[in-house]
Amino acid sequence: MIQANDPSLKTWLEVPEGSDFPIQNLPFGVFRTQSNPAPRLCTAIGDYVIDLSVLNFLSVFDELDFPPEVFLSSSINNLMALGRPKALQLRNRLADLFHEGNTEIRDSAWHYLHPVEKVELLLPVQIGDYTDFYSSIEHATNVGSMFRDPANALLPNWRHLPVGYHGRASSIVVSGTPIRRPKGQTRPKDEEPPVFGPSRQLDFELETAFVIGKETALGQSVSTSEAEDHIFGMLLFNDWSARDIQKWEYVPLGPFLSKNFGSTVSPWVVTLDALEPFRVKGPEQEPSPLPYLQFQGKKNYDIRLEVAIRTAAGAEKTVCRSNFQYMYWNMCQQLAHHTVNGCNLRVGDLCASGTISGPTPDSYGSMLELAWKGTRPIDMPDGSIRTFIQDGDTVIVKGFAEKDGLRIGFGEAKGEVLPAF
Ligand code: CA
């Protein structure tokens, strides 16, 4: 039996050097083409998008007994709802079909194989509820130092619970969708009345997100040891933020219009199964959290993350290199905390990590921190400077895990900023 995670597996498809999508990844997405505009499920190998609905039509999944509508769908929600073991069976069967020793479907490749540049990748998940955490101690410390007292940067609750807030799912868009600069109320000068206009401090937040694949009943809680049964996979996430709007509005209930005008996700859901080889231990937690937040084993992942800014004229610079493993609170703790009061989960719910900053100034996951509230402007290759994001800039988030020659990547989550209406 072929296992998708077997690092020695090779495919008969061409995979460029350094590709995010070797045969061991097999993420899930949704796409359409000009000649067939019906959304359907896909996976990726190298620079190819593979139509799972056609493969199913070719009867190569018959032994797995999938309901056919699962593949002819505008989201992967129905696939996720069948459970992680079922999705793993599908990935193993795909690894079998595409490994170099198998000629079963090579002759019919023109039916199901598309170069990625010829397709439109759609939002892969029908997102239900969206929660954003605040779980990087470096990010929380930086923001606390800037806006409060460096000596007491973390608020008293921070080391005791994964702080989070409920966000807005309707404005989460897939990579490539432009983001309109938001307008809103700000107060540029303390003690003066607020003003209305386009945000002048538009920022990105480097985050990842995980998607729920198994529901719970209202009243039920998920323990840290059960949490991974409910987490189907991960995506890249840019939580666009208007700092000037945020600064004025966030007291006392947290972010509102400064966040809900748009968030960008990558088009591929990378399964937790594919990320298994990249588990690492997270930071020490001091003090030890309450029992419901304690956990066994390695719950963080070594995922390298970066953010690039590309100007309207095409000058591009990587401004941040961070890593998911810096996260103080892991996804299992976030989910245990989220449900400890009985809040129920639904398939398609999305939880974002919060900005992932690392320990060094080049690993900070937002312009707010990289340019330190505008005091340390970033030089761009074309001679211009950035303290926040300008109209016409494209922000590109990338991420991949790599170990012993195996690279499992996420592709990218990018968005161009358009001027305010
Ligand atoms: Ca955020």
Reported as a pLDDT band with limits 50, 70 and 90, residue 305 is very high
Percentage above 70 pLDDT, the chain: 100
| Residue 148 pLDDT > 90 | no
CA of 129 to the centre of ligand 1 (A): 15
pLDDT tens, 353-378? 999 999 999 999 999 999 999 999 99
Question: Is the model's pTM score more than 0.85?
Answer: yes
Strand residues in 70-182 grouped as ranges (E): 113-115, 120-122, 130-133, 164-166, 172-174, 179-180
pLDDT tens, 150-179? 999 999 999 999 999 999 999 999 999 999
CA of 140 to the centre of ligand 1 (A): 11
| Residue 330 pLDDT > 90 | yes
Can you give the pLDDT at residue 92? 98
Can you give the pLDDT at residue 25? 98
Can you give the pLDDT at residue 272? 98
Question: Nearest Cα to 232, choosing from 207, 208, 214?
Answer: 214
CA of 88 to the centre of ligand 1 (A): 30
CA of 307 to the centre of ligand 1 (A): 15
Sort residue 326 into left (φ over 0), alpha (ψ -120 to 50) or beta: alpha
pLDDT tens, 38-82? 999 999 999 999 999 999 999 999 999 999 899 999 999 999 999
Can you give the pLDDT at residue 118? 98
Task: Name the β-bridge partners of 378.
Answer: 386
CA of 45 to the centre of ligand 1 (A): 31
Mean pLDDT of 213-219: 98
Give the active site residue among 139, 230, 337, 338.
139
Reported as a pLDDT band with limits 50, 70 and 90, residue 147 is confident
pLDDT tens, 112-128? 999 999 999 999 999 99
Can you give the pLDDT at residue 149? 87
Can you give the pLDDT at residue 35? 96
Our answer to whether residue 139 is catalytic in this structure is yes
Mean pLDDT of 86-108: 97
CA of 127 to the centre of ligand 1 (A): 17
Q: Judge whether 327 and 136 are in contact, CB under 8 Å.
A: yes
Sort residue 354 into left (φ over 0), alpha (ψ -120 to 50) or beta: left
> CA 35, 41, 47, 48: dihedral to nearest 10 degrees?
-60
CA of 5 to the centre of ligand 1 (A): 32
Query: How far is the C-alpha of 15 from the C-alpha of 106, rounded, in Å?
Result: 16
Ligand 1 (ion): residues with CB under 5 Å are 132, 205, 239
Can you give the pLDDT at residue 119? 98
CA of 220 to the centre of ligand 1 (A): 27
Query: How far is the C-alpha of 400 from the C-alpha of 275, rounded, in Å?
Result: 10
CA of 282 to the centre of ligand 1 (A): 20
| Residue 289 pLDDT > 90 | yes
Q: Which two structure tokens, joined as six digits, stand for 381? A: 């290759």
> Helix or strand or coil: residue 29?
strand
Domains annotated on the chain, with CATH: 29-122 (2.30.30.230), 130-418 (3.90.850.10)
Contacts of 140 (CB under 8 A, 6+ apart): 134, 153, 154, 158, 163
Mean pLDDT of 339-359: 98
Reported as a pLDDT band with limits 50, 70 and 90, residue 1 is confident
Query: How far is the C-alpha of 137 from the C-alpha of 152, rounded, in Å?
Result: 13
Q: Which two structure tokens, joined as six digits, stand for 85? A: 């073991």
